[in-house]
Amino acid sequence: MAGMAGGQGEGSGRINTPAEGALRAVRSLVEQEQTDQATQLYEELGAVQRERLRREAAQRPVKERRGLVEVLRRARDFLGAARLMDGDGEDATVADLYAQSGQYLEAAEAYLRAGEAERAAAAFERAGALERALDVYRNLGARESMAQCLVRLGRPFEAAELYRQLGQAHAEVEALGGVKPEDSRYVEAVLRISTLLDSEGFTHRALAVLADALSSSEEARAEPGLVTEKARLLRRMGMEAEAEAMLLRRSVGAAAPAANGYRFLKAIPIFGELSLEDMKDLYRLARQVIIAPGAVLLEKGTPGTGLFVLMDGSVDVYSGPEDDARHLNTLGPGQYLGEISLVQDAPVSAQVRARTQVRALRISRSDFEHYLDTHEAAALRIYRLFTQNLAGRVRALST
């Protein structure tokens, strides 16, 4: 009969229930384990009615709440479901529901209660609660994640010290690059950057950093340490004193050598829409690796482990690991391997072996997953571009 709780309008597929009986009808359908009908009716309720139902359900025994929680989950009211379950001892499930609803601070607290500290820290980061995230990472001893938080908190020297301990010179340079000229330790930062860049073979870039620092203020130009360092680098390059001014003018405008890896990483299509800050955060995740001639970078058929960006040297790509495998390609500086494994769980499709000694940037899959968890806007852009590129490949194969 029309108007009865649970009744169906002919051909409409809708449950025709008077508003005053809707709450009772949902509860009744839940008790009868008619979850699909209860979900449909819950979705058709107004916001005020749904809130009232959740409020009343919160006062009921756990067993009764469980049925309604399943209804809310199917209706994609993840926040309502999380709040109904909160306090029932299923903190990991509650945390996932809070995360699905975008309530990352509540998710983080629930993950902590569930003993999932690493996921809690990532949720704190995503919520912008960087100090809380830093505390959790510190307790975990996760120094790389601590350094990322410190950079985002505007504490570059502390971040740089951690990167120094980790032996990640390029990340230390990026962290110290955030020190402003008005900072009392600015000269110290510039000198450290210069030393690191020069030791990595980027003397021109070190000179550019020094030139920029010397032009930033009268105080910087008066610093003997900066002048001494500039002179050291010029002597190292075998340049005459009278060429100093020209060299500095050129180095001020010179781009950083592509071989530092940043520009290569930035050029990868799936990173093409990342903001400067997100791109810098991603670059700090990368680690420089040296691969001996003949060593295997990627083994066909094994799970993908992450991205390699070649900076120096070359690699050979073969159809398989066999001695008589077909040679498919040779790749060199600026080219990359394994980017699909960052966003898709699939086996490696070819055998890749170092032809010469190779210097590369490597981003592991686990580090990249953490990056996606803590950089929501970047994750959306990366997945969109990955999907577009994949669709383009499919179209190319089908034409």
Give the per-residue pLDDT at 393.
65
Question: In one letter, which amino acid is 61?
Answer: P
Task: Please report, for residues 7, 15, 18, 230, 276, the alpha-carbon distance to residue 4 in angstroms, rounded to integers and kept in the order given.
Answer: 5, 9, 8, 87, 59
Could you tell me if 307 and 364 lie in one domain? yes
pLDDT at 149: 95
For residues 146 and 232, state if they share a domain: yes
Phi, psi of 161, rounded to the nearest 5 degrees: -65, -40
Residue that terminates a domain, selected from 67, 85, 103:
85
Q: Are residues 330 and 296 part of one domain?
A: yes
Which of 210, 241, 257 is the last residue before a domain boundary? 257
pLDDT of residue 184: 85
* Within-domain flag for 92: no
Whichever domain contains 236, its CATH number is 1.25.40
Residue 294 φ/ψ, nearest 5 degrees: 90, -15
Give the total number of structural domains in the chain. 3
Is residue 134 one of the residues assigned to a domain? no
Which residues have a Cβ under 8 Å from the Cβ of 297 and sit 6 or more positions away? 291, 308, 315, 337, 352, 353, 354, 358, 360
Q: What is the pLDDT of residue 259?
A: 53
Residue 97 lies in a domain: no
State the DSSP code for 271.
G
Task: For residues 148 and 47, state if they share a domain.
Answer: no
Distances (CA, A) of 170 to 70, 101, 207, 209, 230: 49, 37, 16, 14, 20
- Answer yes or no: do 78 and 199 share one domain: no
| Interatomic CA distance for residues 100 and 170, integer angstroms | 35
Q: Are residues 337 and 302 part of one domain?
A: yes
Q: Taking a C-beta distance cutoff of 8 angstroms, is the pair 218, 183 a contact? A: no
- Residues 269 and 383 placed together within one structural domain of the fold: yes
CB 258 within 8 A of CB 264: yes
Please report, as a single letter, which amino acid is at residue 15.
Answer: I
Structure tokens at 314: 């070359």
Residues facing 308 on adjacent strands: 337, 362
Q: Is residue 108 part of a domain?
A: no
Considering the domain boundaries, does residue 112 fall inside one? Answer: no
SS3 letters across 178-220: CCCCCCCCHHHHHHHHHHHHHHCCCHHHHHHHHHHHHCCCHHH
269 and 394 share one domain: yes
Would you say residue 128 lies in a domain? no
The reply to whether 347 and 227 lie within a common domain is no
Considering the domain boundaries, does residue 216 fall inside one? yes
- pLDDT reported for residue 183: 87
Answer yes or no: is 105 within a domain. Answer: no
Print the domain residue range for 217: 140-257
- C-alpha distance from residue 349 to each of 28, 88, 366 (Å): 54, 46, 20
Domain identity same for 198 and 239: yes
CATH label of the domain that carries residue 385: 2.60.120.10
Provide φ and ψ at 340, rounded to 5°: -65, -35
- Closest among 104, 56, 111, 51 to 80, alpha carbons compared: 51
Per-block average pLDDT, block size 10, for the chain (399 residues)?
37 42 76 85 86 83 80 90 86 93 94 95 94 96 95 94 94 92 89 92 88 78 77 72 39 44 90 93 91 93 92 92 92 90 86 93 92 92 84 63
Do 248 and 277 reside in the same domain of the chain?
no
Instruction: State residue 249's pLDDT score.
Output: 37
Q: What is the 3-state secondary structure (H, E, C) of 30-48?
A: HHCCCHHHHHHHHHHCCHH
Q: Pick from 85, 105, 132: which residue ends a domain?
A: 85
My answer on whether 14 and 54 are in the same domain is yes
